[in-house]
Structure formats: C-alpha cells, structure tokens
Amino acid sequence: MKVIGISASPRQDGNSDELLNRALEGAASAGAEVKKIILNELKFGPCQECGGCDRTGFCVIHDGLEPVYAQLDDADAIVIASPVFFASVSAQLKMMIDRFQCRWVAKYILGKGGRSGRRRKGALLLASGSYKKEFFENSRAVVKAFFATLDAEYSGELFCGGLEKKGDAAKYKEYPNRAYEIGRELVING
C-alpha cells in the first residue's frame, strides 16, 4: 500500500509538518510504503483557467507539479497536512488543488475519472493558532471537494488548535499520538 503525505506549510518542521511526519510513521508501522511531498519546494503556479484540459483532462502547464499528478494517481491513501491561514488552507495547498481542475474535468465532464474499482482513502491534518471551528470547517470543505475529485474517501481528520510557534504540536502529546493512529488506521482499514 502506498501512502502519500502532502506537506502544505511553508514552514518545514512546523506544526502541520510534525503531524504529517507522525501520520506517515504510523502508516509505515502498519507496512505502508510512504512518501512525502513538500509543496513549498515545488516550483509551480496556479490554474490559469485556460481550458487547456477541457478535451483531454490533462493540464497543459508543464512545471514542478507535473510529477504530483502521477504520484497521487498511484497512491492508495493521501494525507494532507496544512496550517490554517486566514480561515482556510495554505496558499500552497489551494494552488495545488486548483491545478487538479483537469482531474475534475476528466471525472465530471469527460467521464474518464475513477480508479477502476480501486478504493483509496484520504485524511486531513490541520494546525491552527486558534480553536475556531469555522476555520477548520472551511478547510475541510476545500479538501473534501479535492478528495471527491480524486475518488478518495474522506477517512480521517485531526484539527489541532492552540498551535502558534514551531514546535508547539510536539508539546501536546495527544496531537502527534492521534496523527500516528490516523496514519496506522488508513493502512489497517484500507
């Protein structure tokens, strides 16, 4: 089983990254092959709404996001870890998600989506300064729409408030421990 982790924060070794690392450790402990994609290290731009994917379902922009399409197509589970920025997900994550408009076109317009009966799962980990429920809910709605496009069943979430400074997530034992369990459960229940 292949599990892909998407690190959506510009701050490496920050709070969401810590949660993601624990989740990937949990998945690996259950026997999964894990890989982490750090969005902030990829050179890519936003969707240009050019319609270039309308007839094929493939994006015509050739940049640093190109390998990610194949990596996510191949994944049996996807774990997204994002900070809450201005009541939603990070710009890096939203930019990636918008670039999957080509997959939305493939699935919903061209009828070319689907994974030939292969089920897969998705989980969302969020790190936030505040505990505001609406901010987590906004982020969840964005990621749920993305997972639906990729035929990934929304199967786990961890919303962690009270995290401001780098290193805060590790101080709350229950956050990293729960992230580890979510990673394990994705594989065990997969």
Ligand X SMILES: Cc1cc2nc3c(=O)[nH]c(=O)nc-3n(C[C@H](O)[C@H](O)[C@H](O)COP(=O)(O)O)c2cc1C
Chain residues in the site for ligand X (CB under 6 A) = 9, 11, 14-17, 83-87, 127-130, 132, 135, 163-164, 166
CB of 150 to ligand X, least distance (A): 23
CB of 164 to ligand X, least distance (A): 5
Looking at residue 88, its amino acid is: S
CB closer to ligand X out of 115 and 165: 165
CB of 142 to ligand X, least distance (A): 14
CB closer to ligand X out of 15 and 149: 15
Residue nearest to ligand X (CB): 14
CB of 55 to ligand X, least distance (A): 37
CB closer to ligand X out of 10 and 190: 10
CB closer to ligand X out of 146 and 159: 159
User: Please, are residues 143 and 90 in contact by the beta-carbon 8 Å criterion?
Assistant: no
CB of 24 to ligand X, least distance (A): 15
CB closer to ligand X out of 143 and 163: 163
